[in-house]
Amino acid sequence: MTERTLIREALDVFTARRRARQLAVAVGFAPAPSLEIAIVVSELGTNILKYGVRGEIVVSRTTPPVPMGVEVVAEDEGPPIADIELAVRDGYGDRGPIDADQWLGRGGIGAGLGAVIRLSDSFEYHPGPGKKFFRAIRYLHTRRVVRV
Amino acid sequence: MIQGTARIPIIRLWSLLLVPVQGELTDTHAEQLRHDVLAEIHAAGSSGLILDVTGLWMMDSHMCAVLTGLAQATALMGTRTIVCGINADTAITIQSMGLELRGVRTALTLEQALLAFGVQPPPDGIDDPLDEIAGFEHST
Ligand SMILES: Nc1ncnc2c1ncn2[C@@H]1O[C@H](COP(=O)(O)OP(=O)(O)OP(=O)(O)O)[C@@H](O)[C@H]1O
Ligand SMILES: [Mg+2]
């Protein structure tokens, strides 16, 4: 079970997150966590649109020995994130805090990656070489590993 | 399925505006909605805005930003906003995402949002207003 969605415009993000929810349900997740997996896809997909270059989202069922769950990989060809430690903080971009007055203008509040981490059991960021990517996993039976 | 293509209706209710936010909003649609709502408030001098999100299947940080931004913009025009129709799953997700609809009032249902704006529920046993429409047949 693998769903691959190229992210070129907002409609692709909608497609990717719907597919993610369907796949999560098929793997056996209840409605609420399936929705959360869709949100992870939505956040990572929106980031590709806003900051990335030629990206895609691959959602798949995990394979043994990884415990059963759903894996989300979001990759793009843009330059790596300046400072991932800052970027994952709520209210932060990758270079520092976001001015609340600019929330709308820049179309974000800096909560996306924080949300991805809170909604995932495992989170990784790989700056490259090659394409940079994020990998988030949600296990059917939860345990948490966060690595940035 | 609505896929970010339909224009969202804006409904006038006395001095209030009711917007059933639905489908999947691209930035263009969000901008369009914002523009339409602000223009309508300006034209009608609306005292309150109700954003009913029952029709959204999920809220991500983008949607929270859109709703918060709209509420902030209307507040500048002296119009209060209430968001209603957030279902249990969505409420939990918003919370576990650590998101909040900053400074935005919420109500569980549309009825509660209307009550909060001082709209009174109809008294029990009111005559069916449809009776007064000539030739109207009740389908039972
Ligand atoms: N794919 C990406 N390519 C380059 N930079 C990225 C990418 N994804 C995230 N970033 C950087 O990480 C920062 C934090 O992202 P995050 O999703 O947390 O917040 P946001 O997108 O700014 O706001 P929000 O998600 O709340 O709308 C971004 O501001 C951006 O600088
Ligand atoms: Mg984001």
Domains of chain A (ranges; CATH) run 2-139 (3.30.565.10)
Residue with token string 């399936």: A34
d(CA A87, ligand 1 centre) in Å: 6
Which pLDDT value is given to residue B2? Answer: 42
Helix or strand or coil: residue A15?
A: helix
Among A2, A6, A113, A139, residue whose Cα is nearest residue A61: A2
Q: Where are the domains of chain B?
A: 11-110
Distance in angstroms (rounded) separating the CA atoms of residues B6 and A16: 20
Which pLDDT value is given to residue A121? Answer: 95
Q: Is the pLDDT of residue B17 over 60?
A: yes
Which pLDDT value is given to residue B112? Answer: 96
Cβ–Cβ gap B27/A10 under 8 Å: yes
Which pLDDT value is given to residue A41? Answer: 97
Chain B neighbors of A118, CB-CB under 8 A: 96-98
Question: How is residue B123 annotated by DSSP?
Answer: P
Helix or strand or coil: residue B20?
A: strand
Go through A96-130 and write b for each residue having 16 or more CB atoms within 10 A of its CB, e for each that does not: eebeeeebbeebbbbbbbbbbbbbbbbbebeeeee
Reported as a single tens digit per residue, the pLDDT across B115-127 is 999 999 888 866 6
Exposure of B54 by Cβ count < 10 A (0-12 exposed, 13-18 middle, 19+ buried)? middle
Q: A61: which 2 tokens?
A: 């069922």
Give percent above pLDDT 70 in chain B: 79
C-alpha dihedral sign at A20, A25, A28, A30: positive
Chain A neighbors of B69, CB-CB under 8 A: 103-104
Distance in angstroms (rounded) separating the CA atoms of residues B90 and A68: 25
Helix axes of B27-44 and B61-76: crossing angle, nearest 10 degrees: 20
Q: What is the mean pLDDT of residues B73-81?
A: 93
In order along chain A (148 residues), what is the average pLDDT of each group of 10 residues?
A: 95 96 97 93 95 96 95 96 91 82 59 90 94 97 65
The answer to whether A89 and A110 have CB atoms below 8 angstroms apart is yes
Which pLDDT value is given to residue A47? Answer: 95
Instruction: Report, at the CATH architecture level, how domain B11-110 is classified.
Output: 2-Layer Sandwich (3.30)
Q: Is the pLDDT of residue B3 over 60?
A: no
d(CA A57, ligand 2 centre) in Å: 14
More confident residue, A29 or B27: A29
Q: What is the mean pLDDT of residues B61-74?
A: 87
Query: pTM, whole model, 2 decimals?
Result: 0.83
Residue B138's pLDDT band, with cuts at 50, 70 and 90, is low
Mean pLDDT score of chain B, rounded to an integer? 84
Q: What is the mean pLDDT of residues B10-18?
A: 95
What is the interface pTM, i.e. ipTM, of the complex? Answer: 0.73
